[in-house]
Chains A and B, each alone.
Chain A
Amino acid sequence: MGCDEFGWYSEHMLRPKVGGAFIFVWRDFSMREKLEQLGKQALSALDAASSSVELDELKVRFLGKKGELTAILKQMGTLSAEERPVMGALANEVRGRIEERMAARRGEIAAAEMEAKLANERIDVTLPGARRPLGHRHPMTSLLDEVKDIFIGMGFEIVDGPEVETTFYNFTALNTSENHPSREPQDTFYFSDDVLLRTQTSSVQARTMEKRQPPIRIIAPGRVYRKDEVDATHSPMFHQVEGLVVDKGIKMTDLKGTLDLLFKQIYGNDTKVRFRPHHFPFTEPSAEMDLQCFACHGKGCRMCKGEGWIEMLGCGMVHPNVLRICGIDPEIYSGFAFGLGTDRMAMWRYGVNDLRLFFENDMRFISQF
Chain B
Amino acid sequence: MKLSRKWLGEFVDVADIPDSEFGHKMTMTGSIVESVESAGDAVTGVVIGRLDAIDQHPNADKLVVCTVDVGAEKKLTIATGAKNVKVGDIVPVATCGANLPGGHIEATDMRGVVSEGMLCSMDELGLDNRDLPFGNPNGILILNDPESDLPLGDYALGQDVRPLLGLDDRTAEFEITPNRPDCLSVIGLAREVSATFERPLTLHTASVSGGAGKIEEMLSVEVAEPELCPRYTARVVVDVKIAPSPAWMRERLRASGIRPINNIVDITNYVMLEYGQPMHSFDYSCLDSGKIVVRRAHAGEQLATLDSKPRTLTEDMLVIADSSKAVGVAGVMGGANSEITDATATVVFESANFSGPSVRRTAIALGMRTDASSRFEKGLDPENTIPAVDRACELVEMLGCGRVLDGIIDIDHTEYSPKVLPIEYDKINALLGTEISREFMRSALVRLGFGVDGDSVTVPSYRMDVEQMADLAEEVARMYGYDALPTTLCSGSATVGGLTERQKIENQTTANCRALGYSEVLTYSFVSPNFVAKLRIPEDSPLRRTLKILNPLGEDTSVMRTTALGSVLEAAAKNAAARVSELRVYELARVFRPIEGEKLPDERKQLLLCTYGADVDFYALKGDVEEILAGMRITGVRCRAYSEDGAFHPGRCAVVESNGSCLGTIGQIHPQVAEEFGINIPVYAAVLDYELMLESMQPEATFKPLPRFPSTSRDMAVVCDETLPAGDLLDCVRESAGELLTSAEIFDVYTGTGMQPGKKSIAMSLQFRSDERTLTDAEVDACFAAALAALEKKFGATLR
Contacts and interface: CB of A to CB of B under 8 A. Distances in A.
Answer yes or no: do A and B interact.
Answer: yes
Interface of A: 132-138, 140-141, 145, 148, 151-158, 162-166, 178-181, 184-186, 189-192, 194-195, 197, 214-215, 217, 223, 225, 227, 229, 236-237, 245, 247-254, 256-258, 260-261, 274-279, 281, 284-287, 317, 319-320, 334, 358-364, 366-367
Which of the listed residues A155, A158, A236, A284 has the most CB atoms from chain B within 10 Å of its own CB?
A: A284
Contacts of A277: 28-30, 474, 477-478, 482
B517 A135 contact: yes
Given A156-B497, A178-B357, A284-B473, A189 B551 contact: yes
Given A135-B516, A163-B525, A277-B482, A363 B586 contact: no
A247 B510 CA distance: 34
Contacts of B468: 320
Contacts of A281: 179
Contacts of A358: 522
Contacts of A285: 431-432, 470, 473-474, 477-478
Nearest 9 A/B pairs, CB to CB: A253-B433, A277-B30, A251-B433, A285-B474, A279-B177, A135-B514, A179-B357, A257-B487, A361-B571
A191 B471 contact: no
Given A157-B497, A189-B549, A276 B30 contact: yes
Contact of B489 (A237, A248, A257): A257
7 contacts: A135-B585, A180-B178, A181-B377, A214-B493, A223-B525, A225-B525, A364-B578
Given A135-B516, A157-B497, A197-B549, A361 B574 contact: yes
B307 to A, nearest CB: 20
A266 B552 CA distance: 35
Contacts of A197: 525-526, 549
B456 interface: no
Interface in B464-515: 465, 468-471, 473-474, 477-478, 482-483, 485-500, 503, 507, 510, 513-515
B17 interface: no
A229 B600 CA distance: 26
B354 to A, nearest CB: 12
B549 A359 contact: no
A215 B495 contact: yes
A136 B514 contact: yes
Nearest to B486: A253
A163 B590 CA distance: 9
A163 to B, nearest CB: 6
Nearest to A156: B497
A158 B506 CA distance: 13
B553 interface: yes
A164 B603 contact: yes
B521 interface: yes
Contacts of B30: 276-279
A215 B549 CA distance: 37
Given A251-B431, A253-B434, A320-B469, 7 more contacts: A132-B517, A138-B521, A138-B522, A157-B498, A158-B499, A197-B549, A275-B482
B513 to A, nearest CB: 6
A174 to B, nearest CB: 14
Nearest to B476: A285
Interface residues of B, number: 88
Interface in B342-380: 356-357, 360, 364, 377, 379
B550 A257 contact: no
A166 B600 contact: yes
Contacts of B177: 278-279
B498 A253 contact: no
A220 B3 CA distance: 40
B208 interface: no
B520 A136 contact: yes
A135 B519 contact: yes
B26 to A, nearest CB: 10
Contact of A190 (B498, B510, B551, B603): B551
Contact of A252 (B364, B483, B485, B521): B485
B600 A276 contact: no
A317 B522 contact: no
B492 A215 contact: yes
Which of the listed residues A136, A164, A180 has the most CB atoms from chain B within 10 Å of its own CB?
A: A164
B519 to A, nearest CB: 4
B661 interface: no
Nearest to B364: A184
A366 B500 contact: no
A260 B487 contact: yes
Contacts of B547: 164, 191
Contacts of A253: 432-434, 485-488
Contacts of A227: 551, 553
Contacts of B360: 179, 181, 184
B519 A284 contact: no
B517 A134 contact: yes
A204 B489 CA distance: 23
Nearest to B360: A179
A261 B514 CA distance: 31
B483 A274 contact: yes
Contact of B490 (A229, A258, A360, A367): A258
B27 interface: yes
Which of the listed residues A136, A184, A247 has the most CB atoms from chain B within 10 Å of its own CB?
A: A136
B526 A237 contact: yes
A50 to B, nearest CB: 42
A163 B603 contact: yes
Given A156-B495, A223-B525, A284-B470, A279 B600 contact: no
Which of the listed residues B468, B496, B516, B599 has the most CB atoms from chain A within 10 Å of its own CB?
A: B599
A18 B583 CA distance: 70
Contact of A135 (B432, B487, B515): B515
A256 to B, nearest CB: 5
Contacts of B99: none
Given A164-B603, A247-B493, A251-B430, A135 B488 contact: no
Contact of A237 (B27, B357, B525): B525
Nearest to B578: A362
A250 B473 contact: no
A98 B434 CA distance: 93
A155 B482 contact: no
Contact of A191 (B503, B550, B578, B585): B550
Interface in B535-564: 547-553, 557, 560
